[in-house]
Chains A and B, each alone.
Chain A
Amino acid sequence: MSARRLQRGLALTAALLLLGAALVPAGALGSARPRASLTDIENDVMCVSCRESLAVAESPQAYAERDYIRGLIAQGLDKQQIEQQLVAQYGPAVLGKPPASGFDLTVYVLPAAIVALGLLVLAIALPRWRRAARARVKAPAAAGPALSAQDARRLEEDLARFDA
């Protein structure tokens, strides 16, 4: 291998390493985790007493919940850890996701059931609509009796006169 080719290979490797380093997210390189923000968490959790998003809630409990989250952020916890702490303190309702059990299960099942029902209706109705549409297209040709030879000749004459 010539020295020039070796030099070019080393330069290419260095360039690839630099590109790779630029593309890898900063958080994945070391132990540094993205710092949680109150705004981000507020949007994902509920004010448990007022049953609305913490981002818009203005009750005393909402203020207490925000203070608690601020404390957890100050301790350096990430978003997932903070949400786990919130569940431990306020129960699963704080996440705004109903438990997948009992009546609340309908929240998860119902949308899928409605989509499935819609697909079923379409599966039944679409072939019918297509058949009906085809029948309507064919209908004008099939409608009425065939022209007699005399009428056909008269039609041809009229069309010729019209073209002239």
Chain B
Amino acid sequence: MRRLLIPGVALLAAAALLGLLAFGVSHQGTSSSIDAQVAHGKRPPAPGARVALPILGASGRESLADLRGKVVVLNVFASWCQPCAAEAPILEREQRLLAGHDATILGVTYLDNSSDSESFVHRWHITYPVIRDVSGSFVRGFGTTGVPETFVIDRRGRIAALRRFQLDGSWLAQTLPPILAERS
């Protein structure tokens, strides 16, 4: 019995390490549950709705909860991202249309320094609010691992549609009208 003690302890330690590794790996992957639910027509609640993030170029903070009742097109972008630059004029044009429908674009910077983000906003004449997710923890809740990504959040704070790559005008034109037509 005592002869088995050391191999037993070693085996137990190895099993514990493997368990820890499996746990770590399973919690590092991107969450595909949002995509799956949206694909099946469900609307999962937007994560981190109460997280107030600093507004780019201003002193205040803003959260999704502050915008409850509005349709929010949450666009995750970075100044160093070329597809984000391609999207910017489309989103700005859309913002002007959304203003009359109690809706807004909300930009979220992703792994970007504030001076570069501000230059980006200035260069593309962006007028919609932009918040900074410095640590990336807010967008990680959406399963974001890259940019650009866009999430349409309905008036009840639920994700109604998403796009995990560069959007175009036709996607917005198809996706937004039925969501805008809904009442809260």
List residues of chain A with CB under 8 Å of any chain B CB.
Answer: 48-49, 60-61, 63-65, 68, 71, 88-93, 103, 106, 110, 114, 117, 120-121, 124-125
On whether A91 and B134 interact (CB within 8 A), knowing A49-B111, A68-B113, A121-B6, the answer reads yes
Return chain B residues, CB-CB under 8 Å to A49.
78, 110-111, 146
Q: Shortest distance in angstroms between A45's beta carbon and chain B's nearest beta carbon?
A: 13
Return chain A residues, CB-CB under 8 Å to B9.
117, 120-121
- Cα-based distance from A113 to B110 in the complex (angstroms): 36
A106 in contact with B80 (CB, 8 Å):
no
Return chain A residues, CB-CB under 8 Å to B80.
60-61, 63-64
Besides A60-B80, A90-B134, A117-B9, 16 new A-B residue pairs in contact (Cβ under 8 A), listed by A number: A49-B78, A49-B146, A61-B111, A61-B112, A88-B134, A90-B111, A90-B113, A92-B135, A93-B135, A103-B27, A106-B24, A117-B13, A120-B9, A121-B9, A121-B10, A125-B6
List residues of chain B with CB under 8 Å of any chain A CB.
Answer: 5-6, 9-10, 13, 20, 23-24, 27, 78-82, 110-116, 134-137, 146
| CB-contact partner of A64 in B13, B27, B112, under 8 A | B112
- Cα-based distance from A91 to B137 in the complex (angstroms): 9
Residues of A contacting B: mostly: helix
| CB-contact partner of B134 in A89, A121, A125, under 8 A | A89
A68 in contact with B13 (CB, 8 Å):
no
| CB-contact partner of A61 in B5, B27, B78, B115, under 8 A | B78
- Cα-based distance from A120 to B13 in the complex (angstroms): 12
Q: Shortest distance in angstroms between B114's beta carbon and chain A's nearest beta carbon?
A: 6
